[in-house]
Amino acid sequence: MLDHRIETFLTLCEVMNYRETADILHITQPAVTQHIQFLEKKYDCKLFSYENRRLIKTDAAKILEEYARAMRYHEESVQQRLRDGGVRDLRIGATKTIGDYVITEQIHQYLSNKDHALTLIVDNTEHLLKLLEENQLDFAIVEGYFDKKHFDSQCMRREPFVGICRKGHPFAGRQITIEELLAETIIHREEGSGTRAILEQKLQGYNESLNRFKNHICISSFKLILDLVKEGFGVSFVYNVLADSDPDIEKFSIQGEPIVREFNIVYLKHTDIQEKIDLFFS
């Protein structure tokens, strides 16, 4: 069982407030302080300090947090295997492109074994990384940016990132200028999504932003994005696998280096989950 003082430490790392930590754990604020002082004495280091009345983690706390999260993950994994017996239950997250268009075959193959159970959460990169930190996922498959100092990862594959437009659009099959693009209505994903972050980074390379477009439409559903593009409401940017999924969609590119991004399997540092990754992708 994970030491209750480690649980206190992890909760404090998440909320960064002693009073809120006490409320969440249903203990007193002095008890939270005692737990942290115990760990500081045990590991002979300072874990938290204040800067301008704001609580911050020390470098030692950041290191301990990584290992403590891994400890909690392994503890919960052992409990799950003891409880479920022969059933292999995977908890996986995937960003929308990957969850809806890339890993369907792996899901079918994994679930063809009647002893396998699966929880799949399809969401944006930012939320999936938060779920990883909270030990609600074994691993996540994302196309967005993540802190490689904070997570371990394996590259699943590399995928081109392309512009899409309706059939007959002047952009179809062309390499266009940034000036031509900005004259269009752009249809993009919500803040926190991987595809939006990639588009914004590309625009920054031209010293431009989403606000510079003639008009922009924010949609969280790829199906609706494709429908709007096909009906001529604007242009968008998606991964090639998604663009190829609809014969009524045409592709284009922006002048300059083509955009290619990795689809990565991401998981907490210091967690041994290779067996679970192999189980899903075998």
The predicted-structure confidence for 116-146, as pLDDT tens digits, reads as follows: 999 999 998 889 999 998 889 999 999 877 8
Give the integer Cα–Cα distance in Å for 162 and 239. 6
Residue 85 has pLDDT above 70, yes or no: no
How confident is residue 1, by pLDDT bands cut at 50, 70 and 90? low
H or E segment and range at residue 110? helix 104-111
| Parent domain of 214 | 158-261
Do β-strands 88-94 and 116-122 pair in parallel, antiparallel, or remain unpaired? parallel
CATH number at residue 70: 1.10.10.10
At 59, give phi and psi (nearest 5°).
-60, -35
Could you tell me if residue 46 is inside a domain? yes
3-44, pLDDT tens digit by residue? Answer: 889 889 999 998 999 999 999 999 999 999 999 999 999 999
What are the helix and strand counts (H, E) for the chain? 12, 12
Residue 114 lies in a domain: no
How many independent structural domains does the chain possess?
A: 2
In a domain, 104, yes or no: no
- Which domain-ending residue is among 48, 78, 108? 78
**Where among 78, 99, 134 does a domain terminate?**
78
CATH code assigned at 193: 3.40.190.290
Domain end point (choices 49, 78, 107): 78
> What is the pTM for the complete model shown?
0.69
How far is the C-alpha of 194 from the C-alpha of 74, rounded, in Å?
28
Domain membership of residue 102 (yes or no) is no
Residue 270 has a pLDDT of 84
153 belongs to a structural domain: no
Same-domain pairing of 256 and 163:
yes
pLDDT in tens, 165-191: 999 999 999 999 999 999 999 999 998
In a domain, 280, yes or no: no
Per-residue pLDDT tens over the stretch 103-112? 999 999 999 9
